[in-house]
Structure 1
């Protein structure tokens, strides 16, 4: 919460003499819909019952008793107490604070350095990294940045899908039809075509399925040949994925995937048995969840094989033991909601209170022509191809509009990648997104390019201004004031975004900053030589700080020239 908002809350609290807690007052404070109604408002509806008065009367009584150097005036407007800040003093204070704190502006210490584990991206190896994987990757990365900004230590976990019967199929396909040379040339493409070929051939040769099961059993039994092939497929896949992560500029703290937990699952099963939670059901071992209205959580199949649930329970126990997390976030599509409900509930039944701080963060699909992308039906759009295409389009735009731009390649990459990430994160995460490269790269509207361009334009003004002498004395015109108020909201937006696990809050806020900045420099002659020149240049500088830091939280770069 911004300091000014806290001060206003304290002023109200002083008048109320403990009728309402400071925390409750802070939560009720809002921004008036129209600027003519003031800069900050407190609704009095909540007080009516306690004080046995009409809200309008309460607002009138309280506002008449408030006297503070912070406000030009405080007045009652119906049931609201509305405050009008002293523009020059407040704009000076806000801009000075932003320039002093620089990229630390908006930081909070609420996390106290505690760990939050974040399960994100997590593609299946030996399969292409599609646009469908983008959402978990960029939402998870943005949330990791937000947790860090709020004082936590995020642990970015790429829980890759590197185990299961598909590896038996892949080993059979490779031994029958594959070649080392072809796989090395284009690992993902070749491994996928071998996997597809296996399924096609198995339709007419069902014995292949038995052969695949035989090889997966050998892999589980640590057979040398099977393990060597599995490890090779895994390494080649991770190398390919790392190219995409490098383009997106996203790093992970650990790549512990499903296979990492193979030797740890028996301990989980033993724990469940010890706590009296395991029951037999048609030969399988399950944890019943009837009391919560959920189907049983399957722990072991009748043939003794473990499942996703067994792995995820084991992973949670391991992560708590290693990181002592205060929260554990799983950025996984909404179709896995039941699975996570079951996992969290089983851990709670095991007596682990920390399981109450485990959160599934679901999201919608990326659609192509209104339909979900599907690998099996060939309706998949490869992320790497999309990124390269976006970079190429950005390069063409640069050649057209600013051919003399230094670092053209780097800027084109920042624009192309930024456009893709912003297009995803500007949408509320539960919404489905229609894939459109054309929409992503528009200069106008709600695009990453629009925000990046506002930042570059502000940087250009600062370059032209050079070293301006003079003090930042604050500004009081309408355009400067609307911009200052928008910048002032940044700390609140960061905390709300994390509270809701909703990076779209930041993206929408940045659009707002860019719009207010555009209105400001369209109406105000920023570089005019007069007594407020230093204040205007300081304000533009503050805009670059907030836009750059806001984009960084989303995982996007802010070019200084475009």
Structure 2
């Protein structure tokens, strides 16, 4: 049930405003005693020629209460307290019906997004920096795809310049070499190119940027011209609505130059080219390594994570089947979770004591919560389809349902901000809410069969949402731990 839309539709009878605009005004109060939703009435004052608190009082009295326990005004706000049993029922039933599709509103249908990420050089090992780009890019790919976008993954392999040409001619930067000439000619025709010390450049000083070098003094093309050609190719080939580059923050100026040059060249779609930057990975317990060791460190990192996960499984569940597969999912998943649990522009402080800890905001903590939910469901056996949601009166049951209900909001926010961190934060909050519910509310051993059954469906709904959220982060779940 979309409460934002319900409230907007009921207000629409009294306020002459578009439904979408009304929806955008609806807020979630910071404290539960202030209601589950709130509508500020300041914007209505000019049209209705009344004080906001008077408007709020009048509208609250006129509102249809169906689906809400009460509707009242608090100064200039209308506060809505939902009927908790109806709220839980609608939320849980939606999750159980939609299952692995729950959370998707399909708002991206008919639109295309290209996402460039990872993009290693072919003569160098895949290292920890590439993993950061890969983790973010893969998660964004899954998030946008989940919302119905046609997503195109692009691995722009570095294979250009002399040392790479000696190795191979492939599907990377060199693919665009032949296309650069037409780009250079086009910029000449548009009067964008000027000569500077023999090189051909686009001057960007009025935008507080150094010149964008398109061609060196010896006639050689450079990466900027390649990326301009690549962007034009992607637009012609895929007709993207967004063209995303997941590359480190140190490349911010580079991409600002490329995008501004595309804009000056008359490409209106240049505004849809977006740089998604990220910080550095720091290891508190690691000495400075020489380059060769640096390149091999990612292999060591993943191997160690899997080995530690194996130790955890042997300690917690010594009789678990398919230990190797479970350890792989836990180990690699914990590394990915660590990369994605902070805002992407922040540096990562990598610490083994935290990565594989059951305490705190870690991948293992979320995985263990999921495994706990699945264990409860296995012990309970079959759940009756006849659910008496009115039995669910505990505050923790309602708070958990509210977290589950907010999944789509988290996904939309992650897309708007291009931040997988939003999903990580969300699934941590779901896990915390579930564990509070699990530790305080008797589920399996309650004598009230209707209450037991109602609580079990919440457990099942929670397991579905956690699995869906981890999937969007590129993490596979473990059923037993």
Which of 203, 219, 224 is residue 309 of structure 1 equivalent to? Answer: 224
TM-score (structure 2 length as normaliser):
0.94
1:208 is aligned to none
Structure 2 residue 449 is matched with structure 1 residue 530: yes
Q: In 1, Cα distance between the equivalents of 2:227 and 2:385?
A: 60
Structure 2 residue 317 is matched with structure 1 residue 402: yes
CA contact (8 A) 1:373 1:380 kept: no
Structure 2 residue 410 is matched with structure 1 residue 493: yes
SS in 2 for 1:113: coil
Runs of 5+ unmatched residues, structure 1 = 168-218, 220-225, 235-254
Structure 2 residue 303 is matched with structure 1 residue 384: no
TM-score (structure 1 length as normaliser):
0.81
SS in 2 for 1:299: strand
SS in 1 for 2:134: helix
2:3 is aligned to 4
1:514 is aligned to 431
Q: Structure 2 matches for 1:23-422, cutoff 5 A?
A: 23-167=20-164, 219=165, 226=166, 230-231=167-168, 256-369=171-284, 376=291, 382-422=297-337
Q: In 2, Cα distance between the equivalents of 1:28 and 1:366?
A: 39
Give 1:550 shift: 0.3
Q: In 2, Cα distance between the equivalents of 1:104 and 1:561?
A: 23
Q: Which moved more, 1:110-119 or 1:369-378?
A: 369-378
SS in 2 for 1:69: coil
Structure 1 residues 78 and 377, CA gap change in structure 2 (3 angstroms): farther
Which of 377, 397, 420 is residue 503 of structure 1 equivalent to? Answer: 420
Structure 1 residues 410 and 370, CA gap change in structure 2 (3 angstroms): closer
1:457 is aligned to 372
Q: In 1, Cα distance between the equivalents of 2:352 and 2:32?
A: 37
Give 1:485 shift: 0.7
Structure 2 residue 358 is matched with structure 1 residue 443: yes
Structure 1 residues 100 and 268, CA gap change in structure 2 (3 angstroms): same
Q: In 2, Cα distance between the equivalents of 1:360 and 1:520?
A: 41
Structure 1 residues 319 and 374, CA gap change in structure 2 (3 angstroms): farther
1:22 is aligned to 19
Structure 1 residues 470 and 94, CA gap change in structure 2 (3 angstroms): same
Q: In 2, Cα distance between the equivalents of 1:407 and 1:376?
A: 36
Structure 2 residue 468 is matched with structure 1 residue 549: yes
Q: Which moved more, 1:367-376 or 1:279-288?
A: 367-376
Q: In 1, Cα distance between the equivalents of 2:290 and 2:243?
A: 29
SS in 1 for 2:450: coil
Q: In 2, Cα distance between the equivalents of 1:459 and 1:525?
A: 16
CA contact (8 A) 2:127 2:294 kept: no
CA contact (8 A) 1:132 1:373 kept: no
Give 1:62 shift: 1.8
1:13 is aligned to 12
Give 1:393 shift: 0.2
1:206 is aligned to none
Give 1:74 shift: 0.6
SS in 1 for 2:131: helix
CA contact (8 A) 1:38 1:82 kept: yes
CA contact (8 A) 1:157 1:256 kept: no
Please report the RMSD computed on the Cα atoms of aligned residues, expressed in angstroms.
2.1
CA contact (8 A) 1:365 1:372 kept: no
Q: In 2, Cα distance between the equivalents of 1:375 and 1:147?
A: 38
1:200 is aligned to none
Give 1:468 shift: 2.5
Q: Deviations over 1:448-467 (max 9, x none)?
A: 11111111111111111111
Q: Structure 2 matches for 1:469-484, cutoff 5 A?
A: 469-474=384-389, 475-484=392-401
SS in 2 for 1:108: coil
SS in 2 for 1:531: helix
Structure 1 residues 375 and 327, CA gap change in structure 2 (3 angstroms): farther
Structure 1 residues 476 and 162, CA gap change in structure 2 (3 angstroms): same
Q: In 2, Cα distance between the equivalents of 1:305 and 1:441?
A: 49
Give 1:548 shift: 0.2
CA contact (8 A) 1:131 1:381 kept: no
Q: In 1, Cα distance between the equivalents of 2:123 and 2:300?
A: 17
Q: Which moved more, 1:289-298 or 1:119-128?
A: 289-298
Q: In 2, Cα distance between the equivalents of 1:375 and 1:150?
A: 43
Structure 2 residue 480 is matched with structure 1 residue 561: yes
Q: In 2, Cα distance between the equivalents of 1:497 and 1:101?
A: 21
Give 1:126 shift: 2.0
- Count of residue correspondences: 477
CA contact (8 A) 1:118 1:154 kept: yes
Q: In 2, Cα distance between the equivalents of 1:13 and 1:109?
A: 25
Q: Deviations over 1:240-264 (max 9, x none)?
A: xxxxxxxxxxxxxxx9321222222
Q: Deviations over 1:335-354 (max 9, x none)?
A: 11111111111112222211
CA contact (8 A) 2:92 2:401 kept: yes
